[in-house]
Structure 1
Amino acid sequence: GTRALQALLALADRLPIAATDGAGLIEVPEGTNARGLREVGCLPNLGPGLRDASSAGLGASEIPAAVGEQVTALLLLGSDPVRTHPDRAAWEGALERSGFVVAFASFLDETLEEHADVIFPAESYAEREGTVTHPDGRLQRLHQAIGHPGEVRAAWSVLAELAHGIDAEFPLYSSAAQVSAELGGAVPFYEGITLERIGGKGMRWPARAAAAVLPPSEISGAELETPPDPPAGMRLGVVPSLWSGPETRHAAVLSFLAPRQRAELSAEDARRLGIAPGDEVEVRAGDALVRATARLRDGLPVGSVFLVQGTDEQSATALTNGVVPVVEVSKA
């Protein structure tokens, strides 16, 4: 959070990175294209071009509590928050209370089947055309590899048509090139970037003259806050799995790759708790419980346990709530 960002800026100042040619800090986001989404304004407090939004919206962790009063409808763009977002119970309640749920999905899963009022078929990754922004600011072009089956359309096309139905002045786009040109007009440091200019090698916008429109950030010289003592007990973390996506749930030939829930512990914690590799364990946070198979890992910090993210059963989201929770681990 804020403390981590302040610590990184202080470290950059101490090294000093700003005065060293070719040096810098690069964030490696958790999600694909997270930098690109941030730059075009897909954050509650930012508009296009990393500018402050005229009015702040709600972050994903704030939406469930607002559904039913401040928020009356939800649009899920390739998202199953019950499966992937922290605080599973909160999202289940939010979807239940929502007056209207619109979803874009490549596969029909239990959450959408139960809660969605309208489902638009979404493109797979191989059917998309557009760009992706890498952590260093390099824009890379994505080419559509296979055609759209059935009634599948690009998400931007459907969203534009929906927006036009609400507001007749909203433009109807006919190509990905038009959408890219619109982004170039809305994001100052994307000005002049087209799909053709990106070409096959990509383009780093921070190396362009247009990047000068971003004002330099001042690094505060204030003393860093002393972080709070870590909570007592086992700290819970989650680890992603390459095979936890819908492909392994819906393709029978790939089902053997679908991850099963496991609890990764240090050898020291395992000895203290009387747990051996392969034992079934229970991980508890309050009234929530997840069962998993114990695995011992070298290098894990003592006092920590890691569960797999995105499993079909015994989901770690039942225990996570957006902060580092403290859990109890015991042999089942």
Structure 2
Amino acid sequence: MRLRTNKLTSTVGTLPTPIRPKKTGFNLKRTWPIYMMILPGFLFFIIFKYIPMVGIVIAFQNYDPIQGFLGSSWAGFENFERLFTTRNFWPLMANTIILSALDIVFFFPMPIILAILLNEVRRKWFKAVTQTIFFAPHFLSWVVIVAITVVLFAARDGGVNILLRDLGFNTIEPLTTPAGFRITWILHNIWQGTGWGAIIFLAAISGVNPNLYEVASIDGAGRLRQMWHITLPAIRGVIIVLFILRLGAFMDIGFEHVLLLQNPLNMQTSDIFDTYIYRTGILMGNFSYTTAVGIFKGVIGLILVVGANKVVKKLGEEGIF
């Protein structure tokens, strides 16, 4: 009996100790550095994005700055009715949509193309110099960029037009024609933002397993096939997420840039919702009306984001929510 007990005890003693699941609850003592890193961004969105949303109430009021939110009379949807019935609505809508479409079609792919091409560069010094050249324009303000454009393409004393006249060609005036404004605007965006936008795609490409390229080269795939079948599928998720986020800003295409390029000669194509809000709301004091215009822009962006996210999920990709 004693032998059996000892045998049973020794056998039981060899059983593995059960593994207890780790606690995954809130542990501020261990994770406080991470929360401190998040805090500045969190405060930024709370202070500058969410708290100001209280002010959208003036879109439904005849807002008087002296009376304030509580003292101003209610107007219901009169400001929205005014927006949809004004003769400026459809020209503003068309100009905003055209510029945003040009931005998506011509500018959005450029950082992707640049990132893929830089990834194919094998000489590190050449890659570093190229990245610096492409990244530098991002740090120039639109004031400087537009000023350079004006100096170069001025009708009488612009450097480019003087050279064209000396060579016997006709001068070009991109800022004084409706079509020239759109071409100048999109070229500015490409020149200023391509290098900076490529950073996130370069980071995504750096996570691709180099063995995939080696195996593909052994199978006879050239550089173009490797880019098409390895690099692009690897960053497809990043492209989709950024595209959906870009649709959220479909009606918001950059007030400062357009305003600086705008003049009476190109107003036909350069007048968008953002400049209209500045002219009607800030300069003329129609705060309630232009707040309604801003809400309309935000609703369009929300609809596009939600719709694009649903389409992406139906196609089997991961959306943003």
TM-score interval for Structure 1 and Structure 2 normalised by the shorter chain: under 0.3
Higher normalized helix content (fraction of residues): 2
With a CA cutoff of 8 Å and minimum separation of 6, indicate the structure with the bigger relative contact order.
Answer: 2
Q: Over alpha carbons, which structure has the higher Rg?
A: 2
Higher normalized strand content (fraction of residues): 1
- After TM superposition, the score normalised by the length of structure 1 is 0.20
